[in-house]
Amino acid sequence: MKVAIIGSGYVGLVAGTCFAELGHQVVCVDNDERKVTALKSGVIPIYEPGLEDLVKSNVAAGRLDFTEELAFALAGADAAFIAVGTPPRVTDGHADMKYVYAVANAIAEKASGDLVVVDKSTVPVGTGDEVERILRSKGGNFRFSVVSNPEFLREGVAIDDFLKPDRIVIGSEDEWAKSVISKVYGVDGFKDVPVLHTSRRSAELLKYASNAFLAMKITFINEIADLCEAVGGDIRDVANGIGLDSRIGRKFLNAGPGYGGSCFPKDTLAISKTARDYRVQLRTVEAVIQVNENRKRAMALRVLDACNGAVRGKTIAILGLAFKADTDDMRDSPSIPLVQALQDFGAHVRAYDPQAMANAGKIFTDVKFCADAYDAASGADAVVTVTEWTEFKDVNLKKLRKVMRSPLLIDFRNLYSIDDVRKDGFEYWSIGRQTDSRPDLSQSLAAE
């Protein structure tokens, strides 16, 4: 089949490359000239493990191409996937649909043959109706149908997630559209994957509901981590105990500095806004947003506490800037409010991230970007781990301690064993464990 992908970012590029890998003829479109030029010359503009090799092999096989010209991508295409961004609107936090609607308008003008138009972007309920209205109002001389096919991949493991998804959701009640999309997915690679056929609106909603639920799971475990610190528990044991319940599952139960990234913050906000427009209040989701927002700034206060209440003039080393490991994505990363607050409190910030420093450089000022963890820690009064990169888990703690001015390790990802860091002479603060972070109230309360 011939497939056009419009928007060649984290989702579009992965989806296009994987569809090509499955044997389809794919053209990825983007209106960012630099991105297309880079892709055409074999340079991948994002960091995603395994993507570069897969792009190269599919380009070499003649199945994958890149262009700025929508008409070129649409010529002869069976399906066009819209994979542009849906960030929060600056004015009110609703999902900003201007990129999706611009693409719908452009498709209406440029499409020349029968086409199934697929919303892969995460979009509010009713977007498919609006895309359909746009296509119809422009009166293009072609048959079309609009489908919602939300994407569930996670950055860092995006290729695996795309090729081996938990489910494929096809939101359409149109038999022709369903059969075209089923063929796009219905090749060998997807044969054991459950396919859920729903209405378009259900498909749109379930993507937001899914992200809201995952954000809630993270926020829940973060609050239980706070309780662990107060009562003297270990959040990793508690999370394991909860997660072994098959009704709950262990994933998304790692306590940390609060969720970030390109999806959860904007999607929790968007679903709560949509709900209110329909006169429904999602109290749990609104609480999740609030708790997570407070947590991000509270992380800086923990650093302050660990530094005896003041960081003015001190040097703080940040290990990890991306919102999670194995990506260069800085969107809504918890490192952003942390670094900002530390600078507000008068700290000098040194930082290292294996992949996200180029993107971080566009956000931060006065941060000294370093060559590796030891370089960042050099002369530091405290080291703070923010992203769970494997190279930070594997860091040589003795070597790290040697280059620091004072041996204070604040671990927002629970990367280390308490015994190991204490053996290496660190004062150690972590999340949800009775380290140095809080006075142990459990004994005094028990005695009363």
Ligand X SMILES: NC(=O)c1ccc[n+]([C@@H]2O[C@H](COP(=O)([O-])OP(=O)(O)OC[C@H]3O[C@@H](n4cnc5c(N)ncnc54)[C@H](O)[C@@H]3O)[C@@H](O)[C@H]2O)c1
The residues carrying an active-site annotation are 263
Beta bridge partners of 95: 88
Q: How far is the CB of 84 from ligand X (least distance, A)?
A: 4
Q: How far is the CB of 329 from ligand X (least distance, A)?
A: 7
**Residue 300 CB partners (closer than 8 Å, separation 6+):** 337, 338, 341, 342, 345
| Between 9 and 407, CB nearer to ligand X | 9
| Between 264 and 428, CB nearer to ligand X | 264
Helix (H, G, I), strand (E, B) or coil at 348: strand
- As a whole number of angstroms, the distance between CA 35 and CA 28 comes to 11
Q: How far is the CB of 322 from ligand X (least distance, A)?
A: 12
| Between 6 and 170, CB nearer to ligand X | 6
Cβ distance 383 to 351 under 8 Å?
A: no
The residues binding ligand X (CB under 6 A) are 6-12, 29-32, 35, 83-86, 99, 102-103, 121-122, 151, 153, 155, 262-263
Mind spelling out the 3-state secondary structure of 221-251? HHHHHHHHHHHCCCHHHHHHHHHCCCCCCCC
- As a whole number of angstroms, the distance between CA 335 and CA 380 comes to 17
The separation between the first and the last C-alpha atoms of the chain, rounded to the nearest angstrom, is 72
| Between 216 and 415, CB nearer to ligand X | 216
Q: How far is the CB of 30 from ligand X (least distance, A)?
A: 4
| Between 149 and 172, CB nearer to ligand X | 149
Residue in the shown chain whose Cβ atom is closest to ligand X:
9
Sign of the Cα torsion 75, 77, 79, 82 reads: negative
| Between 29 and 289, CB nearer to ligand X | 29
H runs (alpha helix) in 22-171: 33-40, 51-60, 70-74, 98-110, 127-137, 158-163
| Between 7 and 256, CB nearer to ligand X | 7
Q: How far is the CB of 79 from ligand X (least distance, A)?
A: 16
Q: How far is the CB of 299 from ligand X (least distance, A)?
A: 23
By C-alpha distance, which of 381, 375, 374 is closest to 406?
381
Q: How far is the CB of 151 from ligand X (least distance, A)?
A: 4
Q: How far is the CB of 228 from ligand X (least distance, A)?
A: 30
Cβ distance 121 to 96 under 8 Å?
A: no
Query: Got the DSSP string for 192-222?
Result: TS-EEEE-HHHHHHHHHHHHHHHHHHHHHHH
Query: Within 10 A of 65 (CB to CB), how many other CB atoms are there?
Result: 18
Residue 111 tokens read as: 């499409």
| Between 151 and 353, CB nearer to ligand X | 151
Cβ distance 274 to 125 under 8 Å?
A: yes
Residue 161 Cα distances to 51, 158, 165, 166, 256, angstroms: 12, 5, 5, 8, 23
Q: Exposed/middle/buried for 270, CB within 10 Å: 0-12, 13-18, 19+?
A: buried
Cβ distance 322 to 356 under 8 Å?
A: yes
